[in-house]
Amino acid sequence: MFRCLAADFEKCTGPFYVVHCVNTGMKFLIDTGAAISLLPVRNVPIGVTVQHTDIVIEGISSERQRAVGNVDLKIQPELSGKVFNVTFHIVPKAVFSLLGANFTDRYELANIIAFQARRL
């Protein structure tokens, strides 16, 4: 499980994985311990449709916060010709954007990430 708890993940020491997306210009931290993907309110792209949700999210610190909605985004990681559809829960207190198990499991990336981590 890889977790980065610093306020700015460029300052974190590994192992962690950041996905740079060429189609959005955004960076996403892959969190293999997170069940869902999170997006800070400030990172919601202008013009996307935000769906209502009543989900309450409990973070690693056991703090609970209510999601303000969810959004479906298409992301294309650097060095990948593939475009992935990901549902993100929008939360007001998220420090950075996270790709959770709804991304890694669906696209069978968890094993690749774990293999690469052993090589570090």
Tens of pLDDT, residue by residue over 13-70, are 555 667 777 767 788 888 878 889 999 999 998 888 999 999 898 877 788 889 999 9
Closest CA to 89 of 59, 61, 60, 120: 59
Give pTM, 2 decimals: 0.74
